[in-house]
């Protein structure tokens, strides 16, 4: 029943377009569905294969992987789902395509705030939601999320859609931290301070700051590092901005996760667990830091020097699962106030 329509070799990593069927279960393989770009994950999978002798079969997509696993049912070849954002982690749980991960190692390495209370997902790397500030026009080097609604920033802030997962998580965190009423007032204030209609991605916010369209942009930490180090055309956008790690007044900096899920019907469960545990090992965590410019979840692993240059991360202590509970309220609020209009 298994139908393989596309196979692309990336070192020891095989990128597959899977059809239905459990026949892919083999002793030397692990099948990964991922929302992460294949080129970002390939170095990690190659290192895992070198360490273990296991072949990693990968299918990458930008959407719909939870639905695909659910549609495949008990015949799904998926062993592991890798995703970004707490929203997609929770969506997979609600879709019924996960099973609890039982691992003493992960419980020791991953702090409780970065994992599902019932073990259905674990964070394996972090990114912070920060401010890209104009080096020329913004003198201050510290800011709170609450201050983004201050009238002194009127017409000076750029941001992508409020419904994007990254902003949804930030707004959900504001609801969880501040309460629904205060968070609504805050989001109204933030909208009033926008220089233009929300659009583009995180990099485009830095671009627009560099062009003088706004003085503050909202983005993730790793995008700035990629602009500064890996994209010559975008390097001037990074050079024109500085990264400020905002905090909530009574908390820390909002972080989001790249996370891992063990598929409900994983045909290679033992191999899947080897991969999952390997991903929180020191080698993989250092690769997340240096290849993808993310914060490791494993204590004691150094962050990349570019990320370290932003200053020490004081991550907010609120569990990501608590933030996820406010996702719908955040999405509804964005629509109610017309944030994206």
Spatial distance between the Cα atoms of 145 and 148, rounded to a whole number of angstroms: 6
Least confident of 36-50, 161-175, 204-218, 284-298: 36-50
C-alpha distances in angstroms, 232 versus 29, 226, 228, 278, 293? 38, 10, 8, 33, 17
The CATH number covering residue 291 comes to 3.40.190.10
If asked whether residues 317 and 200 sit together in one domain, one would say: yes
If asked whether residues 211 and 325 sit together in one domain, one would say: yes
Q: Which DSSP state fits 253?
A: B
* Total tally of structural domains belonging to the chain: 2
Residue 16 has pLDDT above 80, yes or no: no
If asked whether residues 105 and 195 sit together in one domain, one would say: no
24-79 pLDDT per residue, tens: 455 799 999 999 887 889 999 999 999 999 999 999 999 999 999 999 999 999 99
If asked whether residues 80 and 171 sit together in one domain, one would say: no
* Residues with Cβ within 8 Å of residue 81, at least 6 apart in sequence: 32, 33, 34, 65, 66, 69, 92, 97, 98, 260, 261, 263
Q: Examine residue 2 and state whether it is found in any structural domain, yes or no.
A: no
If asked whether residues 134 and 245 sit together in one domain, one would say: yes
If asked whether residues 160 and 237 sit together in one domain, one would say: yes
Spatial distance between the Cα atoms of 181 and 118, rounded to a whole number of angstroms: 30
Whether the Cβ atoms of residue 113 and residue 319 lie closer than 8 Å to each other: yes
277/26: higher pLDDT: 277
Q: Which DSSP state fits 226?
A: H
Burial of 324 (0-12, 13-18, 19+ CB in 10 A): buried
Residue 197 has pLDDT above 70, yes or no: yes
If asked whether residues 277 and 246 sit together in one domain, one would say: no
Q: Examine residue 54 and state whether it is found in any structural domain, yes or no.
A: yes
Structure token digits, residue 241: 């901005």
- Range(s) of the domain holding residue 56: 7-126+256-302
If asked whether residues 154 and 114 sit together in one domain, one would say: no
If asked whether residues 115 and 131 sit together in one domain, one would say: no
φ, ψ (nearest 5 deg) of residue 118: -105, 10
If asked whether residues 217 and 298 sit together in one domain, one would say: no
What pTM did the predictor assign? 0.91
Q: Examine residue 295 and state whether it is found in any structural domain, yes or no.
A: yes
Q: Examine residue 1 and state whether it is found in any structural domain, yes or no.
A: no
């Amino acid at each position: 029943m298994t139908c393989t329509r596309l196979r692309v070799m990336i070192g020891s990593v095989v990128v597959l377009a899977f059809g239905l069927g459990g026949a892919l279960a083999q002793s030397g393989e692990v099948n990964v569905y991922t929302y992460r770009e294949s080129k970002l994950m390939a170095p990690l999978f190659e290192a895992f294969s070198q360490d273990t002798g296991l072949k990693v079969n990968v299918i990458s997509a930008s959407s719909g992987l939870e639905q695909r696993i659910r549609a495949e049912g008990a015949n799904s070849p998926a062993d592991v789902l890798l995703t970004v954002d707490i929203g997609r982690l929770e969506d997979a749980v609600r879709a019924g395509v996960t099973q609890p991960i039982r691992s003493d190692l992960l419980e020791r390495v991953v702090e409780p705030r970065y994992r599902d209370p019932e073990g259905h997902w674990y964070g394996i790397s972090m990114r912070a939601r920060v401010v890209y500030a104009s080096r020329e026009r913004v003198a201050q080097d510290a800011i709170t999320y609450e201050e983004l609604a201050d009238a002194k920033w009127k017409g000076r802030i750029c941001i992508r859609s409020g419904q994007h997962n990254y902003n949804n998580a930030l707004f959900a965190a504001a609801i969880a931290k501040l309460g629904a009423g205060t968070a609504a007032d805050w989001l109204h204030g933030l909208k009033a301070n926008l220089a233009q209609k929300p659009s583009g991605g995180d990099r485009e916010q830095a671009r627009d700051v560099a062009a003088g369209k706004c003085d503050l942009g909202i983005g993730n930490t790793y995008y700035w590092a990629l602009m500064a180090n890996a994209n010559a055309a975008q390097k001037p956008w990074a050079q024109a901005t500085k990264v400020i790690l905002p905090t909530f007044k009574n908390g820390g900096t909002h972080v989001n996760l790249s996370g891992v899920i063990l598929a409900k019907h994983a045909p290679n469960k033992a191999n899947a667990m080897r991969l999952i545990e390997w991903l929180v090992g020191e080698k993989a965590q250092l690769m997340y830091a240096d290849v993808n410019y993310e914060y490791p979840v494993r204590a004691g692993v150094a962050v990349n020097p570019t990320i370290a240059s932003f200053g020490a991360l004081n991550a907010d202590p609120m569990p990501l699962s608590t933030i996820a509970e406010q996702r719908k309220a955040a999405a509804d609020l964005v629509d109610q106030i017309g944030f994206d209009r």
